[in-house]
Structure 1
Amino acid sequence: MSKPALTNSLQDIISHAKEYGFVFPSSEIYDGLQAVYDYGQNGVELKNNLKTAWWKAMTQLHDNIVGIDAAIFMHPLTWKASGHVDGFNDPMIDNKDSKKRYRADQLLEGKAEEYTAAGEAEKAQALLAEMGRLLSAEDLAGVRDLIIAENIVCPISKTANWTEVRQFNLMFSTQVGSVAEDSSLIYLRPETAQGIFVNFLNVQKTGRMKIPFGIAQIGKAFRNEIVARQFTFRMREFEQMEMQFFVRPGTEMEWYSAWKETRMKFHKAVGLPAEKLKFHDHEKLAHYANAAVDIEFEFPFGFREMEGIHSRTDFDLRNHQELSKKKQQYFDAELDANGKPYGNYIPYVVETSVGADRLFLATFCNAFTKETVGEGENEKERTYLKLHPALAPIKAAVLPLVKKDGLAEKGEAIAQSLKSSFRTVYDDGGAIGKRYTRQDLIGTPFCIAVDYQTMEDDTVTIRHRDSMEQERVSISELKEKIGYQVSMERILENI
């Protein structure tokens, strides 16, 4: 019998992620590099499974969405056209006493959260609205005045001795070329979307795609964040899963609403509970958008953005057309209400963009479970990862009761027979109870116990991770029974 799950802190989650091979600090033997992380042997499996689920949900479930893999390095004019060179900035403010640097908007958002927690939601909304107005007007002096008026102090020095607010460009730059004098300035891409936009016509023509259609991509992006924090939530090197959906102008809001609902279904399908998800409409729109909403997840540090859905208008394609002098138009042969072809136009775009690292963190936080099991003297705390079986790094573990009397050889043969269908491990080290616990801690949904009865009738015991219940099944049934539960199809059928 289990009791309600215990409350988990972010530090508990970070410690578990490192101890069980999910996430390591990068370059740890050299004391690490701030806001850069490496995925360990179990973490890379979980992250790859999440990426596979997203990729299949986009390209396998939709006949009109295809994928690409664009280069990280792009011509520098790409970022001029996109607005990143001139406008990809965060408002930065320093505390003169602590010498610590902060994002001005995050300080104000933190104050708004305090108001919300105190039951003053209207005050919080008013503060966010005023911040949005000042940032839209690029009134940085007004932003500083607002921080002071709200009595916001540095969490380290506890003083309000603030510098002026300054804009800080987030792009990493480097040089390309074999000789320093002949090299050219280029950037590490701050987003993956532009690789899709510059390939819009390549994909449309070679794939004979008709509007509406989408292009999906998974790839690394890089941002020189002022304040990188909260584990893998905000990093300087991260991975995005983006889909740009090209539509006829005037239909973008219909598609925007449709993709909002479709993407929310995805997050529920991978196992995130509805009560920990919500939409958050943007107070301040990006320069390219006419509508924007975030799907937020309730992390241990509060509700935060996990995915953004944006109506980007024709901003990107139009700017690329103007700067490159290459037409980025689509000829629409379908007839309008007057019976005439829609003709040439620059499509509008609806974007869905989810951070692979943030989705990983949300999934890991949600799965990390501590609960009390047993009664009286037998009561103890149990920790396990309640991952969707299709996402678990290891799907099944084969555990012989003992190493002797042929049980080990039988177990190895069973594990080998399952490996071509799903990721299976064999473990005969230590007491079987401890082996169950080892698999629980990394989220393995099924443990297969090989005992003396197995040698008599070719049956084994399957132990289910979440309930700890056990059932006896024939070895011949294992591949189909477990394979069904761990199939990616179990996720896709719920989208």
Structure 2
Amino acid sequence: MNPALETTQLKDIVAHAKEYGFVFQSSEIYDGLAAVYDYGPNGVELKNNLKRLWWESMTQLHDNVVGIDAAIFMAPQTWEASGHIAGFNDPLIDNLDSKKRYRADVLLEEKAAEYENASDAARGAALTAEMGRLLTANDLAGVRQLILNEKILCPVSKTGNWTEVRQFNLMFSTQGSAVDSDAPPVYLRPETAQGIFVNFLNVQKSARMKVPFGIAQIGKAFRNEIVARQFIFRMREFEQMEMQFFVRPGTEGEWYDTWKAARRKFHEALGLPAAKLRFHDHDKLAHYAKAAVDIEYEFPFGFKEMEGIHSRGDFDLTQHQALSKKKQQYFDADIDPATGKAYGNYVPFVVETSVGADRLFLATLCNAYEEETITEGEGDAQTTKTRTVLRLHPAVAPVKAAIFPLVRKDGMPEKAQEIFNALKFDFRLVLEERDAIGKRYTRQDLIGTPFCIVVDGQTLEDNTVTVRHRDSREQTRMPISELKSYIGEAVSFKRIFEQL
């Protein structure tokens, strides 16, 4: 990673994202809606490319993974079976002086991170472990006392005048019927996984899948986050990319390790540096989990979770089987070498991989953003300046190539349009004629376009163009007839898939 990123502040990323059409505050003309964001013209292209990359890596590269798209609204019993109604809570604490509300676990995690940054990793680990113990035991008084013992102060009031810690359910609810006021509430799903679990047998039978197999899904989820901050890292409306992998009981440990390694490899293949990624094992396991680990990325605000890998056991299917009274079992005809008989009927265990599309977007944007000092000209005319560039992997860049006529005359605009028309079926392009060529290069650097194609006088003579490369700023002369294969090779998902 370029050292320039080390000093990049989140505010730089936020400002760049707005200025260049990546992310806008939702309803900004009405002063916005907290923790809700809209993706702009370049942002939606980058996000869609990341989603498509994930989807194809799951469903095309694995012959035992298929996809679904489940509804956002589900029967209320779904969330009773999953435990969300009873236990989907965050521990909240208020500061009596500032009147500000915080997640108690986040305050303690940030304190632990301070210890780690001060080279006192043992103390940070001990604090995290104690927090996990207290939360697992639902000892909220103990959590408050831990905050007091650590002398954690409110960032606004700078005081430690804290209330008691209490649990707050994060699910949004709405009326389930337009005509029946007594109808039970319907919830906006807080996760996408349950849509997969309730469709387990539908998918297994219709797609003729054999254990082990996976079901992938990309979809929106909603959480009534009280403390939502750090730009799009934590939002109330967000998108998840999940794959639930159903395995034979007793093999879940092996598959957990397999997917743990595979998912980290995916992020590295996308271009996230190994030094900016780490595994973080959970100290407090969810009620359903046998093992859990996060893949964390080092954002400008520190290492934070980007993806979770969980060994969920048979909790979900068993719970739905018990409440629905419908069997969620799979008949395994393979022979168990220990008994010499078929494995028979069982409820499969599950290994989950779940990555936040918005968090992957933010990590990709942070990693790509760079301010570098470049030198232009030669001899006495040599100058230096700062260039801001997004070094996005060409496969996920919003725009693959920009086409520029050198001047707006002599048939160059018409030739540029001809090239645009020939390539637009294969790539997302822009055609721009305004301003000096240097300014046009700069605009494309700012949105991460890997190639700029310049039509000049020589083009009209021999059908060759100059291709300028974003990262090196080097220029290559080539025939127009080679552009499709040249760009296609660089921007193909194959460049990422071949590393997996």
What TM-score range do you get, normalising by the shorter chain?
Answer: over 0.9
Q: Which residue of 2 aligns with 1:373?
A: 374
* 1:129-278 aligned within 5 A: 129-278=129-278
Within-5 A mapping of 1:271-420 = 271-337=271-337, 338-374=339-375, 378-420=383-425
Helix, strand or coil: the match of 1:114?
Answer: helix
Cα offset for 1:84?
0.3
Alpha carbons 1:3, 1:373 under 8 Å: kept? no
Q: What is the one-letter code of the residue matched to 1:399?
A: F
Total equivalences in the alignment: 494
Q: Which residue does the alignment assign to 2:459?
A: 454
| Structure 2 counterpart SS, 1:349 | strand
- Report if aligned partners of 2:4, 2:370 keep a CA contact under 8 Å in 1: no
Cα distance in 2 for partners of 1:434, 1:343 equals 68
Q: Single out whichever of 117-126 and 440-449 deviates more from structure 2.
A: 117-126
The equivalent of 1:124 in structure 2 is 124
Contact 1:390 1:485 in 2 (8 A): yes
- Residue of structure 2 equivalent to 1:23: 23
Question: For 2:153 and 2:14, how far apart are their aligned partners in 1?
Answer: 28
CA positional deviation for 1:409? 0.1
Cα deviation, 1:433-460, whole Å, max 9, x if unaligned, reads: 1001111111000000000000110000
In structure 1, the gaps of 5 or more residues are: none
Instruction: Name the CA shift for 1:3/1:103 in 2 (closer, same or farther; >3 Å).
Output: closer
Cα drift, residue 121 of structure 1: 1.1
Checking the alignment, whether the CA contact within 8 Å between 1:216 and 1:243 is kept in structure 2 is yes
CA distance 1:3–1:405, shift in 2 (3 Å): farther
C-alpha separation between the residues in 1 aligned to 2:3 and 2:151?
A: 43
Contact 1:3 1:371 in 2 (8 A): no
**C-alpha deviations, 1:434-490, integer Å up to 9, x for none?**
001111111000000000000110000000000000000000000011111111121
Q: Does the CA-based 8 Å contact 1:317-1:346 persist in structure 2?
A: yes
Q: Hey, what's the Cα distance between the residues in 2 that align with 1:6 and 1:52?
A: 29
Q: Specify the SS of the correspondent of 2:123.
A: helix
Q: Is the 8 A contact 2:176 2:185 kept in 1?
A: yes
Are the aligned partners of 2:98 and 2:157 in contact in 1 as well (CA < 8 Å)? yes
- Aligned partner of 2:494 in structure 1 is 489
- Equivalent pair of 2:403/2:454 in contact (CA under 8 Å): yes
Aligned to 2:478: 473
Tell me which residue corresponds to 1:32.
32
Deviation at 1:4, TM superposition (A): 6.0
Q: Deviations over 1:69-100 (max 9, x none)?
A: 00000000000000000000000000000000
DSSP 3-state at the match of 1:21: coil
Cα deviation, 1:133-175, whole Å, max 9, x if unaligned, reads: 1100000001011110111111111111110000000000001
Q: Shift in Å at residue 377 of structure 1?
A: 5.8
Residue 395 of structure 1 contacts residue 446 of structure 1 at CA under 8 Å; is this kept in 2?
yes
Amino acid paired to 2:21: G
Q: How many Å separate the matches in 2 of 1:3 and 1:358?
A: 22
**Structure 2 contact 6–300 (Cα < 8 Å) conserved:** no
- Deviation sequence 1:394-437 (CA, Å, 0-9, x none): 00010010010100000010011000111111100111110011
Going from structure 1 to structure 2, the CA distance change for 1:60 and 1:112 (only over 3 Å counts) comes to same
Distance between the aligned counterparts of 1:317 and 1:94, measured in 2? Answer: 38
Match of 2:446 in 1: 441
Task: Tell me which amino acid in the other structure corresponds to 2:181.
Answer: E
Using the TM superposition, give the Cα deviation of residue 341 of structure 1 relative to its aligned residue in structure 2, in angstroms. 0.5
With over 3 angstroms needed to count, the CA separation of the structure-2 counterparts of 1:199 and 1:4, relative to structure 1, is: closer
User: Using the alignment, how far apart are the partners of 1:301 and 1:6 within structure 2?
Assistant: 11
Percentage of identical aligned residues? 72
The amino acid that maps onto 2:348 is: P
Deviations 1:265-313 (A, max 9, x none): 1101111111111111111101110100000000000000000000000
Distance 2:304 2:162 in 1: 26
| Whole-angstrom CA distance in 2 between matches of 1:5 and 1:380 | 17
Residue 429 of structure 2 corresponds to residue 429 of structure 1: no
Once residues 69 and 444 of structure 1 are traced to their aligned partners in structure 2, the CA distance between those partners, rounded to angstroms, is 31
- Partner in structure 1 of residue 61 of structure 2: 61
The code of the aligned residue for 1:111 comes to K
Contact residue 5 and residue 367 of structure 2 kept, 8 A:
no
| Contact persistence 1:4–1:372 (CA under 8 A) | no
C-alpha deviation, 1:182, in angstroms: 4.4
Give the C-alpha shift of residue 336 in structure 1: 0.4
Question: Which amino acid in 2 is paired with 1:153?
Answer: L
Aligned-pair CA distance for 1:7: 2.8
Classify the secondary structure of the residue corresponding to 1:181. Answer: coil
Q: Verify the 8 A CA contact 1:297 1:306 in the aligned structure 2.
A: yes
Cα RMSD after superposing both structures:
1.2
In structure 2, the CA distance between the partners of 1:325 and 1:3, relative to structure 1 (3 Å rule), is closer
